[in-house]
Amino acid sequence: MLDKYTSVNTYSNEYDPKKKYKYYVTCTDKFMSGWGGCNNRTSKFIIACENYNQARKIQYNLDCENNFKYVNIRTSKPRYNVVHYHSHFTTFSECTAYNK
């Protein structure tokens, strides 16, 4: 059983957890939730962006996908309870499928 101090966050190669990004696009990944590394948890996908235009582009493209819901732009780094959520952080430049 996980306790509230166990980290289940995953980070992409370019994402620096210590860096303060200006915008974060957050969403729930319906496909990955509930199995694999997200067993019995909700999968949260977080994309760090340097400016609002990048965040807006990601938000628009994720809204068009069926696998994602609750797509939001925020200015503070999201933090989710590790007992209920698995968070995957990536950057705009690495998220090539959604930054076109």
**CA 19 – CA 35 distance, rounded (Å):** 30
Confidence of residue 12 (pLDDT cuts 50, 70, 90): confident
**CA 9 – CA 7 distance, rounded (Å):** 6
Confidence of residue 7 (pLDDT cuts 50, 70, 90): low
Contacts of 35 (CB under 8 A, 6+ apart): none
Average pLDDT over residues 43-61: 95
Q: pLDDT digits over 16-32, tens only?
A: 878 889 999 999 998 88
Domain ranges of the chain: 10-91
- For the chain, the maximum distance between any two Cα atoms, rounded to a whole number of angstroms, is 40
What are the C-alpha distances in Å from 37 to residues 49, 61, 96?
Answer: 25, 25, 23
pLDDT at residue 6 greater than cutoff 70: no
Q: What is the pLDDT of residue 13?
A: 79
